Amino acid sequence: MQGDTLGPSYIIQMYNPKHNVWAATVIDNIKRGPGKGGIRMTGTVGVEEVSRLARAMTLKCAMADLPFGGAKSGITVDPKTISKEAKREIVTWFGESLRMYAPKYYISAPDINMAEEEMRWFVEGHGDPKAITGKPKDLGGLPHELGSTGFGVAHSARMALDSKGISVTGATIAIEGYGNVGVFAHKFLEEMGANIVAVSDSRGAIYDASGLKHSELLATKQSKGSVTEHGTGEKIEGKKIFELDVDVLIPAALPDVINKSNVENIKAKIIVEGANISIVSECVEELHRRGVLVIPDFVANAGGVISSYAEHVGYDEKKMFELVKEKIEKSVKAMLERSKKTGEIPRSAAEAIALERLG
């Protein structure tokens, strides 16, 4: 791993002898405030992955103009291989281990395999609820489950449509992935009047030109386990979702899903990256040349970290949603204006803005 002038500032490695589990926290940059970033618990996460994610958080927080730096944590264990009690002990130990860094230099949050219950366990070990966000309501939290990231993705899509002179009312949308980001992007875009014509999950995709209703599709997902079991529409192969002729494509699940094998077949006018690194870097330029407007991940999916900031300063749900909307609008506007002025692709324009703020 090679650092640069931005960071990382601290690489903290921890070991739990009872459970034989390693963990790492990388605090990439604290120039603008304590490093912000969630805890990922998987069997494969290591310092390298945590460092890359911590850097992404540095840029995301600077772009959203939050008084936070960037950080991330990883606990290297597959939660499916341990009991709930063991998971609780590990997360509690992890919170305790970070007492000397959090919340002064690091403020944690949920990431993969972590939700509000785990945030409670972290506080039990650490002692200070200010050291973490995404907590349950009774601990002063604004849980992840309010859908702030999907809300920000929906507003990014609306801004992108505006910039192309397309009304959000009736705009056609395809969403890859039906988890936290995908479900709420669907809900909030539907409320704006958009027509969500396709949604996928790990089992395939469903397409319906007349529109998929959020409440109905969510009920299908919850009762039958997959969007592909929905009664209406046509079941299509999961990867076909990337090639549909829609106004907006929202990748909201896996990395690298738009790559050399399918970039030529992309017909969407706009791509809003709900998921992180959904487009391989070599394809970003090509999409731009072809006139596809890409709203990059660290701009489009910043709603989650903006909500974390709202929680940190004690906002209620209503004020949190207002702040997400305001900040996402500002970021998308600043990025598009700069890109128009300098000719840089939007991602590079946004990176330049973030780097100026970190300079």
DSSP assigned state of 133? S
The rounded distance, in Å, linking the Cα atoms of 185 and 151 is 6
Nearest to 291 by CA among 179, 137, 164: 164
Catalytic residue among 72, 135, 269, 325: 72
* Binding characters for ligand NAD, 304-323, by CB under 6 A (x = yes): x-------------------
Is 347:296 a contact under the CB 8 Å cutoff? yes
Q: What's the helix, strand, coil split of the chain in %, to 5?
A: 45, 20, 35
Please state the closest distance from residue 239 (CB atom) to ligand NAD, in A: 8
Q: Which stretch binds ligand NAD (CB under 6 A): 62-70, 80-88, 249-257, 338-346?
A: 249-257
Q: Quick check: 202 binds ligand NAD (CB under 6 A)?
A: yes
CA angle 136, 137, 143 (to 5 degrees): 55
Widest CA span in the chain: 59
Work out whether 70 is an interface residue with ligand NAD (CB under 6 A): no
In the complex, residue closest to ligand NAD by CB: 179
For residue 177, state whether it binds ligand NAD (rule: CB under 6 A). Answer: yes
- Our finding on whether 163 is near ligand NAD (CB under 6 A) is no
Please choose, from the candidates 148, 207, 157, 204, the residue with its C-alpha nearest in 3D space to the C-alpha of residue 181.
Answer: 148
Mark out the alpha helices in the chain (DSSP H runs). 47-63, 84-97, 116-126, 148-163, 180-191, 214-224, 281-289, 297-300, 303-312, 317-342, 346-358
> 124-153 mask for ligand NAD (x: CB under 6 A)?
--------------------x----x----
Q: Could you give the string, one character per residue 317-356, with x where binding to ligand NAD holds by CB under 6 A and - elsewhere?
A: ----------------------------------------
Measured from the CB atom, is 92 or 186 closer to ligand NAD? 186
DSSP three-state, residue 108: strand
Secondary element (H or E) of residue 267: none
Instruction: Candidates 116-124, 159-167, 199-207, 229-237: pick the segment binding ligand NAD (CB under 6 A).
Output: 199-207
How far apart are alpha carbons 273 and 297 in whole angstroms? 5
Q: Find the distance separating the first CA and the last CA of the chain, reported in whole Å.
A: 22
Cβ contact 344:284 at 8 Å = no
Output 193 or 225, the one with its CB closest to ligand NAD. Answer: 225
Query: In the block, which residue shows the tokens 């390693």?
Result: 22
Whose structure tokens read 């969630």? Answer: 38
Stretch that binds ligand NAD, among 176-184, 187-195, 330-338, 351-359 (CB under 6 A): 176-184
* One residue of 27, 114, 185, 252 binding ligand NAD per CB under 6 A: 252
Contacting range for ligand NAD; rule: CB under 6 A; set: 80-88, 261-269, 271-279, 343-351: 271-279
240 is catalytic: no
> Which residues are part of the catalytic machinery?
72
Query: Which residues bind to ligand NAD, rule: CB under 6 A?
Result: 144, 149, 176-182, 200-202, 238, 252-254, 274-276, 301, 304
